[in-house]
A and B are shown apart, each in its own frame.
Chain A
Amino acid sequence: AQSVTQPDIHITVSEGASLELRCNYSYGATPYLFWYVQSPGQGLQLLLKYFSGDTLVQGIKGFEAEFKRSQSSFNLRKPSVHWSDAAEYFCAVGITGGGNKLTFGTGTQLKVEL
């Protein structure tokens, strides 16, 4: 069965600093990988996705993620964090085939200090 690990439950960064959120997955086949962001009381917004091809994926809001098959990782990065980036971030792996079911990690809560 597939699984996703987000080792950092909470991360605090200063505004303007760089950010990297870690995600490791376990899946027997080629994974579909996603990063979502959730602001308090809101639904999840898709930041970016990896299906195949270029391993460096660009997303919305200046985020990018790099797929590293050898490390089973899909870390999310942003070169300069804004206060509005404070939110919860979820990494997910998709099951190929009918249904596109997602398995989510437990999330990383990002706090941005001004």
Chain B
Amino acid sequence: DAMVIQNPRYQVTQFGKPVTLSCSQTLNHNVMYWYQQKSSQAPKLLFHYYDKDFNNEADTPDNFQSRRPNTSFCFLDIRSPGLGDAAMYLCATSSVAGGQYFGPGTRLTVT
């Protein structure tokens, strides 16, 4: 089945220690997104790629970076995680005219 895969599902990192979350897709969609979702809140868009074009939301902290080496993969790098960065991180994809399809998420804990 075509899908969006996120690894790992659970990630524990230490305060200030860089961490990378990964997302892959078999849908061949040209748009990929990263969201942050905190408990009982709606997902908040951090950035998205339209093919190789990177689009950062205005309020996304500089601490968050992303890479998309090819169509299938996208990475979220958190350079110096703080306690406030503990959240669920969701990856999603879409085609130009379609809805977004989400992965299962990575739950990040910062100790």
Contact = CB atoms under 8 A, between A and B. Distances in A.
Contacts, number: 58
Contact of B96 (A43, A45, A100): A100
Given A102-B45, A105-B42, A44 B31 contact: no
Interface in A11-50: 32, 34, 36, 41-46, 49
B43 A104 contact: yes
Interface stretch (B11-19, B74-82, B102-110): B102-110
B55 A99 contact: yes
A101 interface: yes
B99 interface: yes
B43 A99 contact: no
A43 B90 contact: yes
Interface of B: 4, 6, 31, 33, 40-43, 45, 48, 50, 55, 88, 90, 92, 94, 96-105, 107
Interface of A: 32, 34, 36, 41-46, 49, 51, 90, 94, 98-102, 104-107, 109
